[in-house]
A and B are shown apart, each in its own frame.
Chain A
């Protein structure tokens, strides 16, 4: 029944293209509802032990749809469905004056479907297929509905992602040449060289140093709901793939441990320090994504049980935190009409829900207890103890996170000054409440999303 998880949103997004009055009015409801339905079906497949489902597609070509739900993919899938559903619901408020709404919802649905597909697939060919659909859908979303300059930045985004795809393709070819199979689960082991192109591709998608260049630009020009999906979900799909490979082939991936840990630390510090230099609100948040990407890569590099589980859970908590932070930023930009951090002042008393949501997101980002990301960060710290020096650096780096979170809070919420403030639309507030609630629930009861 797992295929229903993909098919339902796909059908719903195709439904969005039909030119009919009642459909046109309720586009966001149709898509969000389909995501919720998929989520229900997914919950029925709670993986107490890994669930594998295979559907033959083109057997002569070695092509089958092999879906896997286990401790790594289950929580992330649930998060993809939740966050996409919420971002799509939020889109209604964002899209007030934009054209081609039907196409927008279709592409957003396709984008979500492709992410679900990547996370579910263990057959590398279908993995690649969904991976490329993800690229095409997100490219058109960024370029067509983005802010000014989106076209130029879209080119950069596309070129980076094209390199990632090509490298992935090379890796898949090498994988097949050395193991004679496209299925990750069927292969027992493979030479280390096979994983180099795969790893490069995943790191580009994750947007960590030295492949981070596309990330801040793209996230800052994309439409807000799409930024939330890019930063919360798509980027982490790269991290997910890295973790998947690391957890299936730990012996081979040991070769790259040191490299990954160095990359992780550099990204953590680079991202966190760059946040302080930004004046553009969304760009600052995007740099913090680079920084948090380092955490996940660290988990994949450390390769212990705690580190892998922790990094896997960090994907989920990041998805929640980053999407909430981007949606909050979207609300702030909408209400104040400016994107400059310096010009936004004294939001503390403007709207209670906005303030609570903002503080929930930054506290979670900084890894405070009782907020989502606390558990995952602690697990990563615990798992990295065999690389003690690196682990200490990581802990110090996460203090920097706390630093920039306080800086955000100070400059936008507490600094005195006057900023004009428009009334916030109800759709926006609803999404903020839902996400804040989720962050606190996951922070208090992490076991609802953690599969051991």
Chain B
């Protein structure tokens, strides 16, 4: 099975290399390869490999949030191959059988994504370096944790006998990748200096990889208080920091940090892990939509300052962007609303009120800066010469697709909710 996937992967890279002059064709090759590998890994025989509902959920998430982005991207062959590597590694990592394999794929993604960040500007080089250094330090700690764990329990996977210190070491790399509070510093830079599809990959998939690890291997019950504190700190910090930020991409980064906080809260304080899993899915899709539609809105400008983008979003892409902002703000009938309510209810069911109060406080703070985005992009009157009225359908299609997804998962949450509950049944509690 794995060898088939690898074969398809390498063949697609080779083929697309030979036809790289024809951008459309090479993109189509890569897209087909991803689609085929994704569907193959979703449908292959569960007996032969470690594919359970959880892996299927993660793979479905990667597929849904990554394919629109490949369709959207108009970048060079190299970038597309980097995206393909990242997403393909995500597939493999979703049904990996042991934590060491997970770690190797995790490293692959860190390195390939840091290359993807670089796009020939000084800022992006700085951001890529920052991202690479911080994440490699984190995953070195994880590696140390794995080694210590192996010598202690003679198992590659973390087990329930893993001591707290080793558990924290193992969690370290995952936390850094998820950009929780003290380790979030790389995120705003990466979001603001990379190209739009790269930022979308980061906000949709890469930021959630840490949670993949926690859900699949490292769900330590004893480390939950630590996670809870980090979650509360990230929600409050990002909520307050976002108030003074004018760069729209950095604002999106702070909103990501807040949502990472929500997910971590769902992991560490709720009765069931299903709401956190669901919110990871919903937030990933909404953020991908947010970046792609932002890309359409700012096609002809290089500004990211809100004050210079006055009234830019009064068109079809703006409507999609508005829906993504409403989703991220947790306003019905969008998908994030459902999962946020599920997290709140689940945490309250376990009898914890203070974390929910913190979450709602950050929800309010975030509401203020979402409102500012809406205000400047839609209602301020600026020079409206640069507003684009018509887009090529190739760029608009993925954005519309994601918009429909956001609305459908918001209005008919039942199926996805069931799926996430089935998946949560496979999350180990250590």
Contacts and interface: CB of A to CB of B under 8 A. Distances in A.
B418 A170 contact: no
A155 B371 contact: yes
B333 A158 contact: no
A177 B367 contact: no
Interface string B331-362: 11100011001101101110101001100100
Contact of B413 (A63, A136, A174): A63
Contacts of A133: 332-333
B412 interface: yes
Contacts of B333: 129, 133
A60 B341 contact: no
B97 interface: no
B348 A177 contact: yes
B379 interface: yes
B321 interface: no
Contacts of B417: 58, 60-61
B421 interface: yes
14 contacts: A60-B421, A63-B413, A129-B333, A151-B375, A154-B379, A159-B371, A162-B367, A162-B371, A170-B357, A174-B353, A176-B345, A176-B348, A177-B349, A177-B351
B326 A172 contact: no
Contact of B344 (A60, A136, A151, A169): A169
A59 B367 CA distance: 29
A163 B364 contact: yes
B32 interface: no
10 closest A-B pairs by beta carbon, nearest first, are A58-B414, A177-B348, A129-B332, A173-B348, A173-B344, A162-B367, A166-B360, A176-B345, A132-B331, A166-B364
B338 to A, nearest CB: 7
Given A132-B332, A151-B380, A162 B364 contact: yes
Nearest to A125: B341
Given A59-B414, A177-B351, A128 B344 contact: no
A173 B353 CA distance: 10
A61 B348 contact: no
A286 interface: no
Given A166-B360, A176-B345, A128 B367 contact: no
A155 B413 contact: no
Contacts of A129: 332-333, 337
A151 B377 CA distance: 13
A136 B379 contact: no
Given A159-B371, A177-B348, A61 B326 contact: no
B338 A61 contact: yes
Interface residues of A, number: 31
Contact of A136 (B331, B347, B348): B331
A343 interface: no
Given A132-B331, A132-B337, A144-B379, 13 more contacts: A60-B414, A60-B417, A61-B413, A128-B341, A154-B375, A158-B367, A162-B367, A162-B368, A167-B360, A169-B344, A172-B345, A177-B349, A177-B351
Contacts of B341: 125, 128, 169, 172-173
A60 B418 contact: yes
Interface secondary structure of A, over-half rule: helix
Given A169-B344, A173-B345, A136 B375 contact: no
Interface in A135-183: 135-136, 143-144, 151, 154-155, 158-159, 162-163, 166-167, 169-170, 172-174, 176-177
B348 A174 contact: yes
A63 B410 CA distance: 12
Nearest to B332: A129
Contacts of B413: 58, 61, 63
Contacts of A125: 341
A174 B367 CA distance: 22
A173 B269 CA distance: 14
Contacts of B349: 176-177
A159 B367 CA distance: 8
B414 A61 contact: yes
Contacts of B412: 58
A169 B367 CA distance: 14
A136 B337 CA distance: 14
Interface secondary structure of B, over-half rule: helix
Contact of A61 (B342, B364, B380): B342
Interface string A46-76: 0000000000011111010000000000000
B215 interface: no
B363 interface: yes
Contacts of A143: 379
B202 to A, nearest CB: 28
A174 B347 CA distance: 10
Nearest to A163: B364
A172 B349 CA distance: 12
A158 B379 contact: no
Contacts of B371: 155, 158-159, 162
Contacts of B414: 57-61, 63
A166 B368 CA distance: 12
A174 B349 CA distance: 8
A177 B341 CA distance: 12
Interface in A173-231: 173-174, 176-177
A177 to B, nearest CB: 4
Contact of B360 (A144, A159, A170): A170
A170 B345 CA distance: 9
Contacts of B332: 128-129, 132-133
A63 B413 CA distance: 10
Nearest to B353: A174
A151 B379 contact: yes
A173 to B, nearest CB: 4
A163 B341 CA distance: 16
Nearest to B410: A129
A176 B348 CA distance: 8
A172 B348 CA distance: 10
A63 to B, nearest CB: 7
Contacts of B338: 61
Nearest to B364: A166
B107 to A, nearest CB: 38
Contacts of B364: 162-163, 166
Contacts of A57: 414
Contacts of A155: 371, 375
Interface in B148-194: none
Contacts of B337: 129, 132
A144 B375 CA distance: 10
B276 to A, nearest CB: 15
Contacts of B342: 61
A162 B362 CA distance: 12
A150 to B, nearest CB: 9
Contacts of B344: 169-170, 172-173
Interface in B294-331: 326, 331
Contacts of A172: 341, 344-345
Contact of B363 (A61, A63, A144, A166): A166
Nearest to A129: B332
Contacts of B367: 158-159, 162, 166
B277 to A, nearest CB: 14
A179 to B, nearest CB: 11
Nearest to A197: B360
A172 B379 CA distance: 33
Contacts of A163: 364
Contacts of A170: 344, 356-357, 360
Contacts of B360: 166-167, 169-170
B120 to A, nearest CB: 39
Contacts of A135: 331
B117 to A, nearest CB: 34
A185 B398 CA distance: 43
A125 B351 CA distance: 20
Interface in A268-314: none
With most chain A CB atoms within 10 A of its CB, the pick from B326, B331, B421 is: B331
Contacts of A128: 332, 341
